[in-house]
Amino acid sequence: MDLKRRLVFFTRLIRILAYIYLVTQYLLVRGDYNSAEVIPVIAGLGVFYVLMDVTIFRVPEERFRVASLGLMLFEMFLVSLLVYFTRSSPIVEFDFLYVLPLANVALWFGIREGLTYGAIACVAITVTVVLSGRFVWPDMVGYLMGRYIFLLLAGFIMGYMAEFAERESKEKSRRMIELTALSGFATLFDSTLLEGKVYTNLGNAISHSINPDVVLIFGYDQEHEQLVVASCDGVSDSEVNLSIPAAYGLTGRVLQEKASILIADTDSERDYRQLLESQRIRSAAYAPMKWREEVYGVAFAGSQQKEGFNENDLNLLTALSVQAALAIHNSRLYSDLEDRIGELHAIFEIDKAITSAIDLETVLQQIVQMSIGLLDAKISSLMLIDEESQELVIAAAHGLSESYIQKGPIKIGESVAGKVIQEGRPIAVDNIGDDPRHAYAEQARMEGLCSLLSVPLNLKDRVIGVLNIYTDEPHYFNPHEINLFTSLASQAAIAIENARLFESLEEIYIEVITAMASAIDARDAYTHGHSHRVTEYAVAIAEELGLSPAEVDIIRNASILHDVGKIGIKEDILKKPGRLTEEERREMEYHPFIGTKILQSVKLLEPVMPLVYHHHERFDGTGYPDGLRGEEIPQGARIISIADAFESMTSDRPYRKALPLEEAMAEMRYGAGRQFDPRLVEVFMRLAEQGKIDLEWSQSRVIPIADHMGRASTK
């Protein structure tokens, strides 16, 4: 209605000017007319204009068309009366008043209505001229033809202008909707780290943005060279689990060429293949889910109508698919990170079990059970070398029958396990029944064993046994799984010998923390060394408070990892040179949660998590994420808060230069009782005044993270 209102205001102005002209002309030649006839018509036109103005603005939207078309016909009738009553001394310009209702209709409804009312105006002026007795052949023909051309041309031009303006307005609205949709869906994609949820979100986004009859989101299964439906809408139940070869039809071409395709009519496209039996697709749009050079799948939108989509729809589909591909890329990175942390966690759990166990047999059984969870298998066994007979015997097993366990020993060099001992390297078997190296192939088939991974238990320069894992279905063990299982076997060997347990555990522990902390510093040159400096300040405060070595180590490790959650924050936010927007600030405030989410998978880091999570709380309760106040905030988090704030103030950032030390110290004093624990601020100030902490930093003081790591908690 906004556009129509603007047009109403425009035609109102034209009518006012036309009415003033009409009255002026009448006053100049009023002696030539019958005032009893003309004045009521002129007055009626004025009253009509006022009533029409009021009616147009008050009529409901659904009745606007009928009301306005009727009013314009009535206005033409009044103009015809005026032309008729001035027949005795015609004023030629009066018949141009027909263009006013014609212009209204054309501007409001477009070319078709404009031409229709132009034709009506032509009929009205012809009838009026004939009835008034002014039609004289052939002199009047030229006059009428001129009026016909003017009225029809006016209807066409004004209708075209209106439709052009309407198209422009719709295009702007469409662009705004697209931008809003892209922004909203980008946020939606970024909000999940689950790949399956990304496919679902993409399907919903396509359904709501370009209104297709069918949506199919294909995920690319590289191992089986297939495209598998990961999300869909508008298909039958039997088509929900649809899968097609990777080279099938246009879907395969999009996957191979990594380019979007728009099909206006599927009947005229030679390479098109109907994907569904439940309905016939007449037009389609395809877009690859591509991020950089990696394609994760294909998005398909189908319509039952020809030309159901246009280039704008294809561009929007492509943009949404790119957003989804980026989200899938991130979700796989996150999933891989979780897998690695989970694997390390499994190793930690094994070490923990070994540490807590006294009996070696119990330790071995725990290792066998944990190896199953590590590679998601069902059956595992651990075989040791009998030093006297130099034969391999099963020392622990899970999922094997007693008869298989008692089948007898294996000599070194025989069967798969014997060759692992002899060669000192892992051996993977895709199908035990087809491998001649396996000495008990028939028993293995009866046991339901299919694939096997056997790795040596290496201890220093000798092999003391093998660790086996079996699957009941064919499985290809990739290099990562082999390396992981080999690592587990090494831990098992250490357990058997009951030696260097803590050294091994400490090395893995340090590797985990080093990798996490290094990942943070590597993202931004401005914050390089930030964790080191915060650690030094925080440890100095903790030691000054007289905390135990174990407590100091927890604070030391938490200081190194306090910003680990920034791994999940967008790089353009971390490096933004100016003030963050409200949305960017909320995303930045999410990093303590991300940090604890990452750390919670590592059992040994549990004491660190509350400090990482709460290091942005404020002493007065205005901090985040939980708004804790005073002593509710863990002491270690209060210590890290002071160290973090002071280091940030005295270091260059993309959005500001470092503060002078005096100004930074003044800010610390000002924040005591507000942002910081005042007692801890006093401790920090005292350390600074006594020279126990060095406030002047240089790149040469940045030492390896591993040298910072706390060790008291692992001894």
User: What's the CATH number where 667 sits?
Assistant: 1.10.3210.10
Within a domain: 240: yes
> Is 518 found in the same domain as 376?
no
- Do 33 and 94 lie in one domain? The reply is yes
176-206 pLDDT, tens per residue? 666 666 566 666 555 567 788 888 888 888 8
Max mean pLDDT range (4-18, 165-179, 312-326, 394-408) = 312-326
Q: Could you tell me if 454 and 412 lie in one domain?
A: yes
Of 24-28, 78-82, 131-135, 168-172, where does the model show the most confidence?
78-82
478, 496, 514: which is the final residue of a domain? 496
Segment 500-544, tens digit of pLDDT:
344 445 455 556 655 666 666 666 555 567 888 899 999 999 999
Residue 124 placed within a domain: yes
**Domain contains 174:** no
The model's pLDDT over 584-602, given as tens digits with 9 standing for 90+, comes to 888 989 999 998 988 886 6
Tens digit of pLDDT for each residue in 100-129?
Answer: 888 888 887 888 888 998 899 899 888 888
The pLDDT assigned to 635 comes to: 96
Residue 195 sits in the same domain as residue 116: no
Residue 343 inside a domain? The answer is no
Both tokens of 638, joined, read 């209060």
Average pLDDT over all residues of the chain? 81
Q: Is the pLDDT of residue 222 over 70?
A: yes
Q: Mean pLDDT across the stretch 62-80? A: 84
Question: Do 196 and 161 have their domain in common?
Answer: no
CATH number at residue 449: 3.30.450.40
**Mean pLDDT score, 549-577:** 86
**Percentage of the chain lying above the pLDDT 70 cut:** 83
Shared-domain flag, residues 691 and 553: yes
Q: Please determine, for residue 166, whether its predicted confidence score (pLDDT) is greater than 90.
A: no
Rg (the chain; Cα; Å): 41
pLDDT surpassing 90 at residue 683: yes
Contacts with 567 (C-beta within 8 Å, 6 or more apart), sequence order: 516, 519, 520, 523, 594, 598
Domain assignment present for 670: yes
Q: pLDDT band for 227, please (50, 70, 90 cuts).
A: very high
* C-alpha to C-alpha distance for 605 and 654, rounded to whole angstroms: 31
Structural domains of the chain, count:
4
Last residue of a domain, one of 312, 330, 348: 330
Mean per-residue pLDDT for 374-400? 84
| Spatial distance between the Cα atoms of 309 and 269, rounded to a whole number of angstroms | 15
Domain carrying residue 478 = 357-496
Q: What is the pLDDT of residues 601-616, one digit of tens each?
A: 666 778 999 999 999 9
Q: Is the model's pTM score more than 0.85?
A: no
d(CA 507, CA 250): 52
Does 694 fall in a domain? Answer: yes
- Do 485 and 525 have their domain in common? no
pLDDT at site 708: 43
Residue 79 structure tokens: 């103009």
- Each residue's pLDDT tens digit, 317-327: 898 898 888 88
What one-character-per-residue DSSP string does 129-153 give? Answer: HHHTT---TTHHHHHHHHHHHHHHH
- Do both 288 and 206 map to the same domain? yes
Is position 344 within any domain? no
Question: Which residue, 137, 169, 201, sits at the end of a domain?
Answer: 169
Q: Based on the domain organization, do 20 and 145 belong to the same domain?
A: yes
Nearest to 345 by CA among 501, 490, 456, 488: 488
347 inside domain: no
pLDDT tier at 301 (50, 70, 90 boundaries)? very high
| 158 plus 225 within the same structural domain | no
3-class secondary structure, 519: helix
Residue 174 is predicted with a pLDDT of 62
User: What is the pLDDT, as a whole number, of residue 177?
Assistant: 62
Determine the average pLDDT of the residues in 454-466. Answer: 86
Kindly write down the DSSP assignment for every residue of 427-480, as one continuous string: EEES-GGG-TT-TTHHHHHHHT--EEEEEEEEETTEEEEEEEEEESS-----HH
Q: Within this chain, do residues 369 and 490 fall inside the same structural domain, yes or no? A: yes
Same domain membership, residue 524 and residue 491: no
